Each structure stands twice: as C-alpha cells, then as structure tokens.
Structure 1
Amino acid sequence: MPIVIGIFFLLPLFFGALAEYLCCRLPRRRFWRFLPPVIAVVFLIVAVWIRIQNWESKDVSPLTQLIIFPGVPAVALLLGVYLGWRFWKYLWSPKIIDDLR
C-alpha cells in the first residue's frame, strides 16, 4: 500500500512542486510560470481521454477507475504545482518589516 501511495500521489506531488518552483524561479519571463499548470491540465485531459477510449470492462464501475487513475495523480500534480508556487512566493516575495514597534 505505501508503494501505491508513493507512486500515485507522492511522486506527482513532488514533480509538480519542483516543476512549478523551477519555472517560477529560473526564467525571467512570466509566461513560463503558467507552463506547469497547463501541462498538468493537459495530462489530466489526455489520461481521461485514453482511459475512456480503451474502455472494455463492463464489470467495473467507470467512476471508480477514473478516480483511481488519472484522478488521484492529477489532483496530486495540481496540488504540487500550487505548493511549488506558494513555496516560491514565500521565499522570493518582498518581506514587510515594521520598524515602528
């Protein structure tokens, strides 16, 4: 069970956070910041499309199979993208120092 959680949740979470942080930190142009969320949404659409096209089993509920894959990895990837952006924002945004106290 921990291997499944690691593969389907923690790896996409890590890669999403890393990609978003690097795309926010390294390039000078702002449009690169939108690349990881766009790739995550495209990944979700392609995975759902492939999953629906290859549907042959009538015994298993389609909803449960769409939630397990690509649902969980896509949610983890989008959450990782958000966390990577928040981490970048926390580290590199200007800090306000109140000297009056």
Structure 2
Amino acid sequence: MADERPTTYQRPSSGPGGPRKKRPFQRRKVCRFCAEKNLTIDYKEPRTLRYFISERGKIVPRRISGNCSKHQREITEAIKRARNLALLPIASNHVLP
C-alpha cells in the first residue's frame, strides 16, 4: 500500500460537449488614431463618435474597437460630453440627427 501513489488527473480530450475548438488567431486591431496622426477626437463631431457606440447606445470596449488605452479614454470622455450637450443619444431608442 505504501507503493501506491495517486495518479495525476488528466483532462479528457473530449468533454460532454465534444472536443474543444481552438479559436483561429486574429490580428490585433491597430488604433486608428495612432496610425493616422491627422485624426482628432472631438465631442463636436458626433459622426466620428458614432462608430464607437453600439446599436444599444453603449460605448464600444477597447478590445472590440481596437483603440489604445489613451485614445479610448479620450473617446469615452468625448462621447459623454456629446451626450450632455444632446449631440448624441443617451439611450438607443432616441433618433440620431
């Protein structure tokens, strides 16, 4: 009995749902504001900010939009300012001009 060691647990290659599928490698999105230096983030341009708002009216996260953290903070601040000035809708059921 002293020689019996518990064996290490090996994960099964296929679980109850079948084998795990590996995600294909996706390229990292490049921040468009870093790539093109002439683009500016301005709260007075709702057409530019509209690309960073989902159809439900939420701000698109950085992992989806591909922005760097610096420009994502600037976009978030610009969207919030534009919402306060009623240039952008706060909720999704409002109509965009």
| TM-score when normalising by structure 1 | 0.28
More helix by share: 1
More strand by share: 2
| TM-score when normalising by structure 2 | 0.29
The structure with more radius of gyration: 2
